[in-house]
A and B are shown apart, each in its own frame.
Chain A
Amino acid sequence: MKYVDEYRDGKMARHIAEKIRQSVKGDKSYHFMEFCGGHTHAIFRYGIPDLLPENVKMIHGPGCPVCILPIPRIDAAIELAEKHQVILCSYGDMMRVPGSRRRSLLKAKADGADIRMVYSCADALAIARGNPDKQVVFFAIGFETTTPPTALIIQQAQKQQVKNFSVFCNHVLTPSAISTILESPEVRDMGLVPLDGFIGPAHVSTVIGSQPYEYFAEEYQKPVVIAGFEPLDVLQAILMLVEQVNRGKAEVENEFTRAVTEQGNLKAKNLVADIFEMRAEFEWRGLGLVPYSGLRIKPEYGDYDAEKRFVLTASKGTDHKACECPKILRGVKTPKDCKLFGSKCTPENPIGSCMVSSEGACAAYYSYGRHQQKHKS
């Protein structure tokens, strides 16, 4: 496939890896966080850790929208389907994420709730048009990539006067999550998470552009390299980060110029600004309440806001006691540090959210890493 195969060339990957080996200084260690789950997935799928020198370590960030959605929001989605008897439409990734008492959308569906997996939010609106006597709610999750489609669908619902459609909005913002990590005591005071730079998200950046990262580079003196999701992109970004660290620089560089511009997709950004506004705070699994990190539907479009249309109980559900997802999402622990990993918690029967989505660190470790580690030892 064009724009895919040429960025997966094995020989070229070894060349870039060799270049990284030549560039790193033996007495230095390099810790880079890939913010986005898409990169985590790519790093394990293509065995990138095996190509890197010992002193270059990748820390997995919280950029997986399925992983960071806290239990109370999952409970609320289940409540919409069960108590309010709506047709709940959800992206497939959310279906198996455990809420309180390990109930998931999939279990609620098995118990008779009308929960439907959709590929696109447009499918949810079509279901609403096809079922005018039922309330239909779209369970909207995701970072800046899925937000513009949700904005479009709300606009379309209004234009087409689809009265039985609403959106349960859980859209979150990448820059505020990066700030929270940089401000966390683990990074700032305790030095538990050494962080020398970030690999910036690929597709999120196609929408928001490279400009929002300038602040991190300057304020926190951390280099950021925006990278595509293919293995050569990731390796090249690591090389660029190593070179910045060696030169004592903290700049925003863009490896993914084929799809990311400085300002991003203005049409998409304007649409999002028309439909959504910031929440004062939003709860993230692992990060807690993060100020100005989530979006809600503006009052002008309040008719399409499921949180206004239905009265939802405030759930106090908390994570499984032994589950290390919160710490893994902050980069403090790795999946291997979790007692449940691979034994009680597997992709088939997940306890924590990081084991559910293919972009979650635990699922990526389990699917690609564990086998490799056995082979090595």
Chain B
Amino acid sequence: MKYIELKNLKKDYKTGNNVFSALKDVNLTLNKGTFTIIKGASGSGKSTLLNLVSGIDTPTSGEIIINGTAIQKLNGEQLAKWRGAEIGIVFQFFQLMPTLTVLENVILPMEFVKKMPRSQHKERAMILLNKLNIAALANKYPHTLSGGEKQRVAIARALANEPNLLIADEPTGNLDSANKAIIHETFKQLNLDGKTILYVTHEQEFPDTYTQVVNIADGILTNIVKKEMEVQHV
């Protein structure tokens, strides 16, 4: 079942009189429930691709259809609503609210999106924290946590509004090996639970339960490697 469709996607950046093409005519289709790794070197265009899919950035041309919604047609406010309902984003640098506790960081998106009654927010947040094995940290502030713990809080926050799609931008880029393993395990589990995952990395190590690895270089998708299948050239 098609979940994400990228059609002839282009993204150009202007710097002075120069135009830099970050993405060049990208076409990609991802099914629901898949775990896609987008892999590429620094400056390859992987983060640009992720920003376009998450509606953080707008394409120069082309279409992005996610779950039937052409998101390039949405305005800023519609995008914010759509993001709240459809996706959860995990950043490399965690980006937690420093003056909110772990529990409050997870509750905050629920209050913005209002998908569920306020009375259920705490319960839902605790379920997520339990699932990620950080319930004991619920009342702690971000600055007291380790990197791995912070990233798990960020994942819990991304899951707060039960999104269909989880987007992770170098989620282990700032972690040591032990914490990397924990985060990999977390993503594995989330995919097994049915979440569609788009996982951007430049590292060689990533969760081994992926569906496919999309390689990107100089704004072009070079190939798609499906797990235990042959390389598909694009």
Partners in one complex: no
